[in-house]
Amino acid sequence: MTIAETIRQLYQTGGPVIAVLLLMSVVGLAIILAKSMQFAINRIHRFKEARAAVDLFLSGDREAARAMVSRTRAPAARLTALAIHGLTAAPLDDRRLREELTRVGNDELRALRGGLRPLELIASLAPLLGLLGTVLGMIEAFQAMEREGSGVSPAVLSGGIWQALTTTAVGLGVAIPAVASLSWLESRVERLGQEMDSLVTRLFTQAPASRSTKGR
């Protein structure tokens, strides 16, 4: 059986509810692929250069630290480069610099979280839509039993229940991958946020106290 035939059979079984669930599955898959590509292009998993730059800066080799973070455009490296520049050249005091770094870091994380809300909505609504389809199917099955009267065939009842439960199965089939993917994507963004916070904290707490305090 081809994919088109399977989809046609599912639609005939579950009706509009199945159509909505299939549309949600397509949208969810598109979001997952788009976010995975975005994360890969932005290299949000790359922390090596940023960590090395912090180590170099704390050891006193500021030029090498700048060169290290200039080799990649990963979010952690960009924030580290901004922090190093602020600690060496920018006329901002520590409090204002940390506020600026927090703003930039939050903007980075907000951009990476963009598009995850629809995926969360799909993960939440898919099981409910499946349950709705089941309830509607069960209503139709009992209506068929009422029309048949006392001579209702068990095949009529079992067939109606089977059709009704199909929507629940499809709803769960859409929701489970969505939930798993959402958890994985959010964990990567959370890991990036924790890493950026750790890098900035190291720079402020362990850096030599020789930087200018202009602006205080």
pLDDT of residue 216: 37
The pLDDT assigned to 213 comes to 42
Does any domain span residue 215? no
Query: What type of residue sits at position 166?
Result: T
Please indicate, yes or no, if residue 88 is contained in any of the structural domains.
yes
pLDDT at 14: 58
The pLDDT of residue 57:
87
Q: Give the total residue count for the chain.
A: 216
Residue type, 152: V
Residues 43-96 have pLDDT tens digits of 888 888 889 888 888 888 888 888 888 877 889 988 988 888 888 876 667 788
Q: What is the largest CA-CA distance in the chain?
A: 93
User: What are the CA-CA distances from residue 90 to residues 29, 85, 100, 187, 214 (Å)?
Assistant: 44, 6, 11, 33, 9
Number of domains in the chain: 1
Give the tokens for residue 158.
């079992």
In a domain, 65, yes or no: yes
pTM over 0.85: no
In a domain, 33, yes or no: yes
Residues of the chain with pLDDT under 50: 210, 212-216
pLDDT in tens, 178-187: 999 999 999 9
HEC readout, 49-104: HHHHHHHHHHCCCHHHHHHHHCCCCCHHHHHHHHHHHHHHCCCCCHHHHHHHHHHH
What's CA 1's distance to the chain center, in Å? 33
pLDDT reported for residue 18: 85
- Domain-embedded: residue 26: yes
Q: Which pLDDT does position 69 carry in this prediction?
A: 84
**CA gap 157, 165 in Å, rounded:** 12
212 belongs to a structural domain: no
Segments forming the whole domain that contains residue 98: 3-206
Q: What is the pLDDT of residue 126?
A: 93
CA atoms in the 13 A half-sphere facing the CB of 93: 5
Say whether 123 sits in a helix, a strand or coil: helix
Q: Does 82 reside within a domain? A: yes
